Structure 1
Amino acid sequence: MPGHPPRCAQTLLHQTLTHWQRQGCPDLWLFAYGSLIWKTDFPVAERRIASVHGYHRALKMWSRVNRGTPQRPGLVLALLPGGSCRGVALRVPAREVPEMLPRLWDREMPNPVYDPRWLRCHSGEGSVSALAFTLSRRSPSYTGELSAQELRQIFQDARGRYGTTLEYARQTLEQLHALGIRDRGLERLLRHAHGL
C-alpha cells in the first residue's frame, strides 16, 4: 500500500515479547477463537470460556498458506472490529513463553496480516489481558462480503499446508458447540457447503 512500510512478522513478534517483558514476564494469556481452541500445540496451564467486547469472529480472512494457496486462497477466521466474541482464554506458563511464542508466530503469521492486540477477556473466573490476533478491514487479506457461489467454490477447492478450509470451519464449529458456544454466522456460512 502506498505510504505504508511493509509489515514484518519478526518486528510484530519483538513488539509483543517486549510488551510481555515490560509487564514482568507473567504467565501469558491468549484468546483462542478458531483453531487455537482445538489445535493447541503448546503447554497450557488453564483454559477459561471467555468473551471479548469490541471484536467478533468472522471467516473473512484470505489464507494463502495454511488453508489455501496463492493460486486458490482459502479462508480462516479473524477477529474483526465490532460486536463481541466468545472463545477460550488460554494461560501459558511464563517459562514456556520464550520458546512458544516464536512457534506460534510461525503458525499464525506465515504472512504478517494479523494485528496482534492485548484484549480484555471476561470470564466467570475474572478478567485478564490476553493476546489476540485481530484483522483490520483495511487489510488486503480481508475478504469483504463473498457470494454463496464464491463460498461454495472455496469450500470445494481450497487446501493449504494444514488441510482444507472446509475441514477448518467444520472442526471449529464442532468445538464451539462442544463448549456450548453458538456461532450463527459460521453455521450460516457452512450451509453453503451442503451443495458439495
Structure 2
Amino acid sequence: MTLNTIEANQARQALDQYDEIWLFGYGSLIYKVDFPFTHKQPAFITGWARRFWQGSHDHRGTPEQPGRVVTLIEDAGNRCDGMAYKVTADVFEHLDHREKNGYLRHEVALHLIEPTGDITQKLGLIYIADQDNDAFLGQTSEKKIAEHIAKSSGPSGENAEYALLLASALRTLNADDDHVFLIERYLRSI
C-alpha cells in the first residue's frame, strides 16, 4: 500500500450511512484536537494494543528519517484507552489528510466511559496503520524505539514531544500503557 491513503479512506465508508459518527483517538488525536466535535469523552476499545511501530514521514519525521508514532496491533486480551469524539462527516476531509501516512479508517466497537462510570457501547471509526503499509517500521525493543524517537523530527515538531505528550495525556485519562510509559522513561534518560 502506498504511503498516501487519502483516496483509499474516502472510498472506505459511506459516512452518510451513520446516524452519529464517533471517532476514537488513541495517539495524537487524544491531545492534538485540531478538528471540530460536538462531544468528547474517555473511551476504550478491546482486542488492540497501542505500539510505536508506525513510521512518520510527514509529521514527526521525514522521508529520509521517519519518526515513530503509534498504531494498533491486534491483541485479544488488551484494552486500549483513548478519547472518543462525536463528529460530523465533513471532519474527515481534514482527518483523512492528517492521517494519510499509511492509516486506514476502520469500524470498531467503542466503549464510552460515562461520568457515572457506566459504559455505553457505540460503533466508532478509528485510523489504524496495518503492518502491510509502506511506512510500517515494526517491532523492536522500547529502548531502541526511544533512541529512534530521540533523533527524529519533522514538520509537526520533535518526535520526542509526540511521545511525551501522549504519555501525559494517557496519565490524565488514568490509562495504563506499559509500552508508552517505558518509552517515555527511556526518552527522559537520554
The interval holding the TM-score normalised by the smaller chain is 0.7 to 0.9
- TM, length-normalised to structure 2: 0.86
Q: Is the 8 A contact 1:152 1:195 kept in 2?
A: no
1:15 match: secondary structure:
coil
Q: Aligned match of 1:15 in 12, 15, 24?
A: 12
Equivalenced residues, count: 183
User: Separation in 2 of the partners of 1:77 and 1:70?
Assistant: 17
User: Separation in 1 of the partners of 2:64 and 2:144?
Assistant: 15
Higher share in helix: 1
Mapping of residues 1-196 of structure 1, within 5 Å? 8-16=5-13, 18=14, 20-23=15-18, 26-82=19-75, 83-92=78-87, 94=88, 97-98=89-90, 100-109=91-100, 111=101, 113-123=102-112, 124-147=118-141, 150-196=144-190
User: Separation in 1 of the partners of 2:105 and 2:163?
Assistant: 22
2:115 alignment partner in structure 1: none
Indicate the larger mover: 63-72 or 139-148: 139-148
2:169 match: secondary structure:
helix
| Cα separation, partners in 2 of 1:8 and 1:48, compared to 1, 3 Å | closer
Q: Is the 8 A contact 1:151 1:192 kept in 2?
A: no
Q: Segments of 4+ in structure 1 off by > 4 A? A: 5-8
Any unmatched runs of 5+ in structure 1?
Answer: none
C-alpha root-mean-square deviation of aligned residues, in Å? 2.1
| Cα separation, partners in 2 of 1:79 and 1:72, compared to 1, 3 Å | same
Deviation per CA, 1:104-124, whole angstroms, max 9, x where unpaired?
111111x3x112101011133
Any unmatched runs of 5+ in structure 2?
Answer: 113-117
User: Separation in 2 of the partners of 1:130 and 1:152?
Assistant: 31
Cα deviation, residue 156, structure 1: 2.4
Instruction: Please tell me the residue identity of whatever aligns with 1:131.
Output: L
2:150 match: secondary structure:
helix
Cα deviation, residue 172, structure 1: 0.9
1:191 match: secondary structure:
helix
Cα deviation, residue 185, structure 1: 1.0
| Cα separation, partners in 2 of 1:43 and 1:135, compared to 1, 3 Å | same
Identity score, percent: 26
1:118 match: secondary structure:
strand
Larger radius of gyration: 1
